[in-house]
Amino acid sequence: MSVSESKAYEAGMSLPEEARRRLALRLLNSVDPDEAFDQAAEAWLRTEAAAAYDALKADSSRAVPAEDVRAKFEAKWAARS
C-alpha cells in the first residue's frame, strides 16, 4: 500500500502534538545522512559561526543572555499556533 506525501502529511497533522513530535523524529532518523549537508554545516561552522564568535569575543557587549534568546524563540513558537 502506498500513501501520497500529501495524504501522509494530512494524517500526521491530525495527530496530537506529542505524537507528531515522535513521528517527526522517527522520520528524520529514517533518512540517511546527506554528505552535502554535512559539508555545508562544516563550512558554516568554519566561516559564519567562527566569525560571529570572534566578533563576540572582540565586543562582549553584543552578548545576549540565553534566557532572552529562549524567550524570543518561545514567543515566536507560540505565535505560530
Domain positions in the chain are 1-31, 34-81
User: What's the pLDDT at 1?
Assistant: 60
Q: How far apart are the C-alpha atoms of 51 and 32, rounded to whole Å? A: 30
- Tell me which of 35 and 77 has the higher pLDDT: 77
Identify the DSSP state of 1. Answer: -
Report the pLDDT value the prediction gives residue 11, as an integer from 0 to 100: 93
User: Full-prediction pTM beyond 0.75?
Assistant: no
Is residue 66 scored above 90 in pLDDT?
A: yes
Length, in residues, of the chain: 81
List, for residues 1-52, the tens digit of each pLDDT value.
Answer: 688 989 999 999 999 999 999 998 898 888 777 888 888 899 999 999 999 9
Separation of alpha carbons 43 and 23, rounded Å: 30
Angstrom CA distances, 18 to 4, 14, 23, 50, 73, stand at 23, 11, 9, 35, 19
Residue 24 CB partners (closer than 8 Å, separation 6+): 12
